[in-house]
């Protein structure tokens, strides 16, 4: 048998019956080295060796790192996500990595992580009880009082988020040539169902604004319903962003709780930064709110903290986003409504489109990232609007 040429690779059988393949490749650092692959059959090893040789022929370098996923996630979060993404995004990614990815896949090497391993692990996470992990810890009374598995499962949305964080992390590893492909992209997860809320009819919207006149945050509800602003955008709105004389408003920051502190951050997306005109009803509400705030400033005296924000506590400090429910819940209860505060934004979009405002104009008012988002919200129109449309078609066809 002729001697194999350099680079052809070799396959040998080990004492335990498995097979060992060796082949020379070029690494991402430019060094040519001999790498090993292992498998149960000669055909399996031949396939792995052939794949490595094909990549070498195409000029695709092989990663020369044995970094484990938990170490890589630590690096990625600190050097990439924290530097380039919004604080709230970093906080969410870090939580997913710490709670789910590191305990589940952290000891796996990113170079040898396989799609099948990711798929199996995600299926296990989606199916296990979050209290007792399939009843293994019921003796510790971590589950229901009856000592039985309560089957508290992760939502589809959370499973999708876990998959998304892993996919984004590995994609960065591909860009940095630490791995050759993103195995998480090969794994599909169930698509969650989104509920955009019920929204308000025109009559309900009028009743809400009328009832909200009694609330010190009346202007906030006017802006939410008429301008379609997000909760964080409303609570981060400053008087320096409002020109009541010209009737215009600039949305340029949002208030969020990040790492335990209330922080002003950039809005959700680049298109969220926008300048919008103010209709008379909004100008009037803001003028009244400014007068009320001046009275509260005078009453607070030395205890007042000047933040420049439009919507504050009675002593001038920023409003806790989650505490807005103290005003919102009693208001919706008085009106007999079952909807979220964010549904006021959806109501604004739906009502504007019902009035014949072009979708691209509504998109700019709401600060949606794309017109498809605007139309997706509108797809959840009220039954009354759908009934009107179907009645109109039926009358034309009859």
Give, rounded to a whole angstrom, the gap between the first and last alpha carbons of the chain. Answer: 87
Annotated catalytic residue 24: no
Give CB contacts under 8 A, 24+ apart, made by 19-23. 19/44, 19/45, 20/45, 21/45, 21/46, 21/48, 21/49, 23/49, 23/52, 23/53, 23/56
Among 210, 255, 209, 257, smallest CA distance to 232 is for: 255
Sign (positive or negative) of CA dihedral 118, 119, 120, 125: positive
List the one residue out of 202, 217, 198 whose CA is nearest residue 329.
217
Range list of H helices, 134-197:
156-175
Q: Which two tokens stand for residue 384?
A: 């009354």
Active site residue 42: no
Active-site residue, from 48, 100, 218, 368: 368
Dig out the tokens for 339 from the structure: 């909807």
Look up 378 and say whether it is catalytic: yes
Given a contact cutoff of 8 angstroms between Cβ atoms, the answer to whether 21 and 46 are in contact is: yes
Place of tokens 């079952």: 338
The catalytic position among 268, 289, 332, 346 is 268
Q: Are 359 and 372 in contact (CB under 8 A)?
A: no
Residues in the chain: 398
| Strands lying side by side in the sheet with 32-39 | 10-13, 19-26, 32-39
Sequence-distant (≥ 6) Cβ neighbours of residue 93 within 8 angstroms? 77, 81, 85, 165, 168
Choose the catalytic residue: 48, 218, 332, 345: 345
Annotated active-site residue in 48, 230, 231, 332: 230
Of 72, 90, 93, 378, the active-site residue reads 378
Residues marked active site are found at 230, 268, 345, 368, 378
């Amino acid at each position: 048998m002729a001697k194999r040429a350099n680079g052809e690779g070799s396959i040998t059988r080990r004492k335990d019956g498995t097979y060992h393949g060796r082949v020379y490749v070029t690494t991402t650092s430019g060094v040519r080295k001999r790498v090993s692959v292992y498998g149960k059959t000669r055909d399996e090893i031949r396939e792995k060796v052939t794949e490595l040789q094909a990549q070498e022929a195409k000029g695709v370098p092989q990663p020369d790192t044995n970094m484990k996923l938990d170490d890589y996630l630590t690096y990625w979060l600190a050097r990439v996500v924290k530097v380039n993404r919004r604080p709230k995004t970093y906080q969410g990614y870090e939580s997913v990595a710490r709670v789910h990815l590191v305990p589940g896949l952290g000891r796996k090497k990113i170079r040898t992580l396989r799609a099948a391993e990711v798929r199996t692990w995600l299926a296990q996470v989606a199916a296990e009880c979050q209290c007792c992990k399939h009843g293994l810890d019921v003796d510790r009374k971590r589950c229901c009082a009856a000592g039985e598995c309560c089957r508290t499962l992760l939502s589809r949305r959370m499973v999708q988020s876990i998959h998304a964080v892993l996919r984004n992390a590995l994609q960065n590893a591909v860009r940095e040539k630490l791995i050759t492909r993103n195995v998480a992209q090969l794994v599909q997860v169930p698509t969650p169902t989104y509920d955009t809320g019920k929204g308000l009819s025109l009559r309900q919207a009028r009743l809400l604004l009328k009832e909200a006149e009694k609330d010190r945050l009346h202007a906030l509800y006017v802006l939410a319903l008429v301008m379609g602003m997000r909760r964080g955008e409303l609570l981060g709105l400053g008087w320096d962003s409002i020109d009541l004389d010209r009737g215009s408003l600039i949305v340029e920051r949002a208030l969020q709780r990040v790492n335990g502190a209330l922080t002003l951050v950039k809005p959700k997306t680049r298109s969220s930064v926008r300048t919008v005109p103010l209709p008379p009803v909004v100008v009037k509400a803001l003028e009244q709110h400014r007068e009320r705030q001046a009275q509260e400033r005078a009453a607070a005296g030395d205890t007042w903290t000047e933040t420049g924000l439009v919507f504050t506590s009675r002593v001038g400090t920023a409003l806790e986003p989650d505490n807005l429910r103290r005003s919102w819940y009693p208001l919706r209860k008085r009106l007999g409504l079952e909807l979220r505060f964010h549904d006021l934004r959806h109501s604004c979009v739906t009502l504007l489109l019902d009035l014949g405002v072009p979708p691209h104009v509504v998109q700019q008012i709401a600060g949606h990232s794309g017109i498809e988002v605007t139309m997706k919200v509108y797809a959840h129109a009220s039954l009354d609007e759908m009934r009107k449309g179907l009645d109109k078609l039926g009358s034309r066809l009859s």
